[in-house]
Amino acid sequence: MDIKQQINQLREALREHNYNYYVLDKPTISDYEFDVKLKELQGLENKYPEFYDANSPTLRVGGEITKNFETIVHDHRMYSLDNSYSKEDLLDWETRVKKLVDGDVQYTCELKYDGASISLTYENGELIRAVTRGDGIQGDNVTNNIKTIPTVPLKLKGEYPPKFDIRGEIVLPHDGFLKMNEERIAAGEEPYANPRNTASGSLKLQDSAEVARRPLDCLLYNITGNNLGLETQYESLEKARAWGFKAPQESKLVNSIEEVLAYVNYWDIERHNLPYETDGVVIKVNGLQQQEELGFTSKAPRWAMAYKFKAEQVVTQLNEITYQVGRTGAITPVANLTPVQLAGTVVKRASLHNADQIAKLDIRVGDEVYVEKGGEIIPKIVGVNLEKRAENSIATEYASDCPECGAPLERKDGEAQHYCPNYNGCLPQIAGRIQHYISRKAMDIEGLGGETVTLLVKEGLIKNYADLYMLTKDDVIPLERMAEKSAENLVNGIEKSKEIPFERVLFALGVRYVGETVAKKLVKHYKTIDAIMTATQEDLVNVDEIGIKIAESVQEFFSDQDNQELISRLKVYGIQLEMSAEKLANQTETLKGLTFVVSGVFYRVSRNELKKMIEDNGGKVSSSISSKTTYIVAGDKMGPSKLEKANKLEIEIINEDTFLAKLGM
Ligand code: AMP
Ligand code: ZN
């Protein structure tokens, strides 16, 4: 078998496994076997870049950076939906429909998924474009980001029309959302408010590798285009499924509004068992011919109607307000409630967000409060039943002191949150910083968990993360639940963290606003901790994507004497505080100040390698051509629209050899 066949077979197999795993939820091979195949394909693709394919399963991991999302006019407008709230509304709608069309009317009932709408364009079975809804007429080109979502097929199965658009919703399932928030809290960042906003925010991230890390899902429900050979909405869904799309199985074909209502009632309860958020039902006239006869109003189709579920609300009593302290010292007020059943779970606590929120709703201990569960997982208090308020009730006075250490709380101008300023003496802050340091994405210290950290701090064995490196087996063996073996694992795990590369160390230090991505950017730019520590604010904001807020926080952290001392100690212990020599050797400033757009297929290096070479040598890679572009590096099959734009803006086009020559290759 020749190489090309081998590559194609691997791609085909990986696509099928991907489909089985993500769309059907029925994997037929182990994750390990999948990884082996993927690595094999990656190896071949690197070696034989001539077989590059923009829709190869290896490109799911992302890595493309989009600075400015290109605006695209939808071929077919993306409409909104009319809303109904009662059986009467639905019956009215049915009457209007029946007046306008002939014959019997069937309906497809679907769930209304609460996410971000998207329009995908396929040509000859390949995904060529993904565009956000925008204002319905035009949206943003977010193709690079969408390609990383595993349930979006890059190539279709079976027999499909040569060209069509398919619309649906990008959603973030509950468990993935919860996991992301846990990680954010670990990084000292505010948790995201709800899955829907997080999903739509994800589509506009500049770094597609970041999107790839988010557990997004894509549910599709509408096919548009010309001469598609489809007769009904229900058939469209079935066809979409056959082509490899995730078209929700919850949809149902019915014959009357009574059946629609039965569907609504069923899902109003059952939706709480779904992995993602829904906020209603969408009822669509099933026949596409009938849909055409009905047409559109200025904003919505006449052939469809949304029925909104009522947000679930219960009344219960607020017994106490307590305050939680995070690792950054941020205080979160928590409502402790008389337990009550809400949307299938027992609710005992609700988030109160901050002091302003409590004051705005005038929430008081003893009140009867209304609790709702929206997109957020933690329920929230939306109001107070003032009629039931006791006469002797007292307005809530926000905590003045830290519940953990007693220090007076502070609140910075313009910030909603209160903070405990006792950086060095407040247990959840001290333990929290060390817990962050050892966490998986930071130093990934095996054999040491969050509870053990708290115990070590309480026992006075450690006060900061540098102290970890002084711990001996004998220190930890006396701890509760520690045995010889686990003590040894702990000490070994700490020792091994000395190999963790600088960018992760920088993230682990816990500088506010310095998450994984910012840490990478800083390391790439400054190369050593000393350079970062001495950088001026002006200097810092000149780094790509570093704004004033981050610059201030970085400066504040490193000008602190205690932190400086910690860093000196980490240096002594042999922690990586510089970019490795190997990485450094590949970096130059040869292309500084130049912006490149890379397009087409290359032979001597792969496209990704080429981009990496640009960045490693100080240049910038941009995905779209603009007046800021210095060169376009063009391989074979450069897109015609890019060529046209380049000519119009008179941007120099160079080939692979000319580019490599610039780097002396
Ligand atoms: P609204 O934003 O309330 O006007 O509702 C319209 C939006 O609902 C559309 O833009 C879609 O993004 C979304 N939607 C969710 N599920 C469906 C569905 N099954 N059919 C049509 N639209 C849906
Ligand atoms: Zn405190």
For residue 381, the CA-to-ligand 2 centroid distance in Å is 26
Q: At what angle do helices 87-100 and 257-270 cross, to 10 degrees?
A: 140
Give per-residue pLDDT as tens, 308-359.
888 778 999 999 999 999 888 999 999 999 999 887 678 999 988 889 989 9
CB-ligand 1 contact for 224 (6 Å cutoff): no
What confidence tens digit (pLDDT) does each residue in 538-563 have?
A: 899 888 778 888 899 999 999 999 99
Which residue, chain included where needed, has tokens 């053990």? Answer: 452
Q: Evaluate: CB of 112 within 6 angstroms of ligand 1.
A: yes
Contact 597/633 with Cβ under 8 angstroms? yes
Question: 555 versus 623: which is more confidently predicted?
Answer: 555
Which of 253, 278, 282 maximizes ligand 1 atoms within 8 Å of its Cβ, making it the mutation to test the pocket?
A: 282
Question: Is 512 touching ligand 1 by the criterion CB < 6 Å?
Answer: no
Which of 4, 47, 112, 485 does the annotation list as catalytic?
112
For residue 78, the ligand 1 atom closest to its alpha carbon is: 10
Residue 376, pLDDT score: 56
pLDDT of residue 643: 81
- Please, what is the angle between helix 31-47 and helix 3-18, to 10°? 150
Ligand 1 pocket residue status of 611, Cβ below 6 Å: no
Kindly tell me if the per-residue pLDDT of 375 is higher than 80.
no
Q: What is the mean pLDDT of residues 263-289?
A: 92
For ligand 1, atom 7, the nearest C-alpha belongs to 80
Q: Which atom of ligand 1 is nearest to the CA of 110?
A: 19
Q: Which long-range contacts (CB under 8 A, 24 or more apart) does 203-207 make?
A: 203/116, 203/118, 203/132, 203/140, 203/142, 203/145, 203/146, 203/170, 204/69, 204/132, 204/140, 204/142, 204/145, 205/145, 206/65, 206/66, 206/67, 206/545, 207/62, 207/63, 207/65, 207/517
Instruction: Output the pLDDT for position 23.
Output: 87
The answer, yes or no, to whether any atom of ligand 1 lies below 6 A from the CB of 81, is: yes
**Alpha helices (runs of H) in 284-352, residue ranges in sequence order:** 288-294
Predicted TM-score (pTM) above 0.85: no
Nearest alpha-carbon partner for 576 in 648, 483, 665, 500: 500
Sign of CA dihedral 41, 42, 44, 48: positive
Sign of the torsion formed by the C-alpha atoms of 113, 115, 119 and 124: negative
Query: DSSP state, 378?
Result: S
Return the ligand 1 atom nearest residue 300 CA.
Answer: 4
Higher-pLDDT residue of 272, 255: 255
Cα of 354 vs centre of ligand 2, distance in Å, is 17
Q: Which atom of ligand 1 is nearest to the CA of 83?
A: 3
Per-residue model confidence as pLDDT tens digits over 202-258 = 999 988 888 998 999 999 999 999 889 999 999 999 999 999 999 989 999 999 999
Is residue 179 annotated as a catalytic residue, yes or no?
no
Ligand 1 probe mutation, 77, 80, 81, most atoms within 8 A of CB: 81
Query: Each residue of 478-512: pLDDT tens digit?
Result: 988 888 999 999 999 999 999 999 999 999 999 98
How many percent of the chain have pLDDT more than 90? 60
Ligand found nearest the CA of 112: 1
For residue range 61-111, what is the model confidence (pLDDT) as tens digits?
A: 777 778 889 999 999 999 999 999 888 999 999 999 999 998 899 999 999
Question: Tens digits of per-residue pLDDT, 391-402?
Answer: 899 999 999 999
Among 46-50, 232-236, 612-616, whose mean pLDDT is lowest?
612-616
- Kindly provide the residue ranges of all beta strands, DSSP E only, lying in 503-590, ordered along the sequence: none
Q: Mean of the per-residue pLDDT values for the chain?
A: 90
Distance CA 368, CA 318 (A): 6
Instruction: With beta carbons less than 8 A apart as the criterion, state whether 236 and 168 touch.
Output: no
Q: What is the pLDDT of residue 374?
A: 63
> In terms of Cα–Cα distance, which of 113, 95, 114 is closest to 105?
95
Task: Output the CA angle 83-84-89, nearest 5 degrees.
Answer: 140
For ligand 2, the distance from its centroid to the CA atom of residue 322, given in whole angstroms, is 14
Environment of ion ligand 2 (residues, CB < 5 A): 402, 404-405, 407, 420, 422, 426
The SS3 assignment for 339 reads: strand
